[in-house]
Amino acid sequence: MKSKNKSTFVFKYDKKNNLINYIERSPKNEIIAYYSYNHKNNGMLKYDHVNKFRIFNQFESPCKLVQRFEGGESWIRAVAVTDNEYSLTYPKIKKQFALNQENQIVKFSVHLELLNQWK
């Protein structure tokens, strides 16, 4: 999709038709959202455009990315490879860290209350 006043969305799928890459760009071609999933290490790379962080999550079991348009917004998240986009469970994270623009590891956390709101 491309329009002068709308975001551009790029989707890439694997051979099993699972979403593995997602990019959302603003009308000015700035990255708003970036998600990439790697089946080899069950890793997901996410770009936080507000804080300029790259966040890496490694899951304990195989996952896939799912995307939905809801309320005028595009939502991306990881689910177990056997779940669908409406699954209410979040895969267990084995390893997680974030890198800033200088490739330095930065501390961050997601509060349990916020995670519970997403369920």
2 occurs within a structural domain: no
For 51-89, how does the pLDDT look when each residue is reduced to its tens digit (9 = 90+)? 888 999 999 999 999 998 888 888 899 999 888 888 888
pLDDT at 111: 52
1 occurs within a structural domain: no
DSSP letter assigned to residue 100: -
Structural domain boundaries, residue 27: 8-118
Q: What's the total number of domains in the chain?
A: 1
3 occurs within a structural domain: no
pLDDT at 116: 54
16 occurs within a structural domain: yes
For 12-49, how does the pLDDT look when each residue is reduced to its tens digit (9 = 90+)? 999 999 999 999 999 999 999 999 999 999 999 999 88
pLDDT at 37: 96
pLDDT at 61: 94
